[in-house]
Amino acid sequence: MKPSAAPDSTAESLLEPRDIADLLNYRLFSLLAFSGAAVIRLCEGKYGISRREWHIVAILAKHQSLAPSDISTLTHLDRARVSRAITQLREKELLHREPCPGDQRRAQVRLTAHGERLYRHLFREVAKLNTALTSTLDPAFVAQFDAALDQLTERAKILAQETAPGIHANRWRGRGQRRPWDSTNLEP
């Protein structure tokens, strides 16, 4: 059976999901997968960078200079992936890594002139894609949707802190820290 591009869902199914296609995170992930494909083609096919590298370039363009740990937090990527991306971006001469005085282990990262130019060019193209995607929506709904996204994000932050507070699953440490499968956790 071929999966449908747009799930057959109503507002009620978002409030009381029946299956995976009714889950908000699944629907948002599907939107990201479809809309992100064009961004990936631009990044990789036209500019020779990965989507992860683009994300870091864009965050640095917004914040000017950041520690790698701050980049990790802002991009929602684990530190190892950020470190690899920083190395790749340095090799492409798109950013500088400057050690902090007195502590060579710590550093600040900022865009080079090439990195700033890449950001300006690629951001214009990604913004056009964003406009093309959102142009299907009524402007009044866009304002409501924007407010709803803010509300959902704030609620998600709270839920992330409240959910299973005694259980630690540190996604920043990679697979080695994941709890092994245990069927005794399932109720009969």
The domain ranges of the chain are 49-157
For residue range 70-122, what is the model confidence (pLDDT) as tens digits? 999 999 999 999 999 999 999 999 999 998 887 777 889 999 999 999 999 99
Check pLDDT > 50 for residue 1.
no
User: DSSP secondary structure string, the chain?
Assistant: -PPPSS----HHHHHS-SSGGG-HHHHHHHHHHHHHHHHHIIIIIII---HHHHHHHHHHHHHSEE-HHHHHHHHT--HHHHHHHHHHHHHTTSEEEEEETTEEEEEEEEE-HHHHHHHHHHHHHHHHHHHHHHTTS-HHHHHHHHHHHHHHHHHHHHHHHHSSTT----GGG-GGGSPPP-GGGS--
What dotted CATH number matches 49-157? 1.10.10.10
User: Which pTM was predicted?
Assistant: 0.78
Which of 50-54, 88-92, 163-167 is predicted least confidently?
A: 163-167
Mean predicted lDDT score pLDDT of the chain: 87
